[in-house]
Amino acid sequence: MPKRANGDGSITKVPHRDLYLARAYVTTTSGLRKRVSVYGKTRDEAREKLTALQAQDHQGIPVPDTNVKMAEYLTYWLGAVVKVNRRPKTHQGYESVVRVHLIPGLGNKKLRTLKAAEVRTWLARVASTCQCCKNGWDAARRTPECCAAGECCDSRLSRRMVQSIHAVLRNALENAVREELILRNVAKLVQVPTPEYGTGRGLTVPQARLLLKAASADRLHALYVLALAMGMRRGELLGLHWAAVDLDRGTLIVSSNLQRVDGALQLGPTKTTSSLRTLPLPPLVTEALGAHRERQAQERVAAGERWTDSGLVFTSRIGTAIEPDNLRRSWYPLRDRLGLTLRFHDLRHTCVTLLLDLGVPPHIVRQIAGHSDIGVTMKVYAHASLDEQRKALGSLSDRLA
């Protein structure tokens, strides 16, 4: 046989195994020319893989040469990429998903050889796993070890949680593609079930009026007015500063967000860049904020030296920031007195829904609520009531008649 030219590569039979080994020198993601190996069950299969490898090299696409495992890469990604470039609350959520789900499930897989089928199979197993016993759910096989009650509680992950796990993995692998550690993001090839958002319609106008009347004696009455009349998020309300409120001009700037991150209260930026907004104050809100400022001045005098001047609009009785989870101490008794089962966040949902019901254009509602995309405004919040549907179908019926 004629001598192979330099760069042609080679194919040899692996001794004592039904495999063929093909090798060629190509440029790797580290910038070096290295000898890379591929395997095939037949000589033709090995030759096809060798040809594809060389074609990729001729196109100037480097070949990944890292053998790092997923656990090592995910740890690097969290520390060097997410923690540096994303908000602390986002890093906290990603870290939890990586620690609880991704590393135990995919940590031993090699980043370079991870396949879409492996991701799909693992996600399906995660979605069908009972979380109290970490065993696959099987209604016919209930064992005392499943939970303290003696039977499996069927505490499987929600579709929303499965979607979040998939999203974190997809973001991690997309960064690996950008850093040329892998050629493609296999998580993008895997589909997960769309979560079902259980958002209700919130309060009706009479219910909202009743709520504000019942909250009139509460020291946080103005907070409920802002939540219902302006649709602000809980963190935006608790992170609101008096410097951002201009009662004379009737404007309010939403620019900060109070959250508990890694065990400490942190005042950070708004949820998204779209959440940073300036809003006009309607008379109802202006009146409530004016009364709240007077009440806070009285509390400052009563607290004396114990008062902490945080500059926040809504504070504790000594001026410190309100723990977001502690807001329930005011909200739950108020809600229970009215016989409601709503979350506090449903007050924001009420504001958006009522604005849409009034015929306010969706792009205006989006600016008021600070949604990142108008699709959120329409898909999650814009669902017509039975009365609206009856009116629409009645109009069509009258026209047809």
CATH assignment at residue 92: 1.10.150.130
Tell me the residue type at 364.
Answer: I
Tokens 């991870």, residue located: 114
Residues 86 and 211 in one domain: no
User: Confidence band (pLDDT; 50, 70, 90) for 137?
Assistant: very low
Mean pLDDT over all residues of the chain?
Answer: 84
Tokens 């490898």, residue located: 53
Query: What residues are paired with 86 via a beta bridge?
Result: none
Q: For the chain, how many structural domains are there in total? A: 3
Residues 137 and 172 in one domain: yes
Residues 213 and 178 in one domain: no
Tokens 């963190």, residue located: 235
Residues 246 and 119 in one domain: no
CATH assignment at residue 345: 1.10.443.10
Residues 339 and 264 in one domain: yes
- Quick one: CA dihedral 154, 158, 164, 170, positive or negative? positive
In a domain, 114, yes or no: yes
Q: Is 350 exposed, middle or buried (0-12, 13-18, 19+ CB in 10 A)?
A: buried
Of 173, 182, 186, residue with least CA distance to 66: 182
Give the whole-angstrom CA distance, residue 273 versus residue 178.
Answer: 24
Residues 82 and 158 in one domain: yes
Domain that holds residue 30: 10-58
Task: Look up residue 238 and give its two tokens.
Answer: 């608790």
Residues 227 and 321 in one domain: yes
What is the model's pLDDT at position 394? 80
What is the model's pLDDT at position 75? 93
- Quick one: CA dihedral 113, 117, 120, 123, positive or negative? negative
- What percentage of the chain carries pLDDT values higher than 90? 40
Write out pLDDT tens, residues 222-232: 999 999 999 89
Write out pLDDT tens, residues 269-287: 777 777 888 999 999 999 9
Q: For 87-91, 114-118, 200-204, which range has the lowest pLDDT when averaged over its residues?
A: 200-204
User: Nearest-5° angle of CA 340, CA 164, CA 117?
Assistant: 140
In a domain, 94, yes or no: yes
Measured CA distances, 94 to 123, 184, 340 (Å): 17, 21, 33
Residues 171 and 277 in one domain: no
**Residue 382 reports pLDDT greater than 70:** no
Write out pLDDT tens, residues 48-70: 988 988 888 888 877 776 788 99
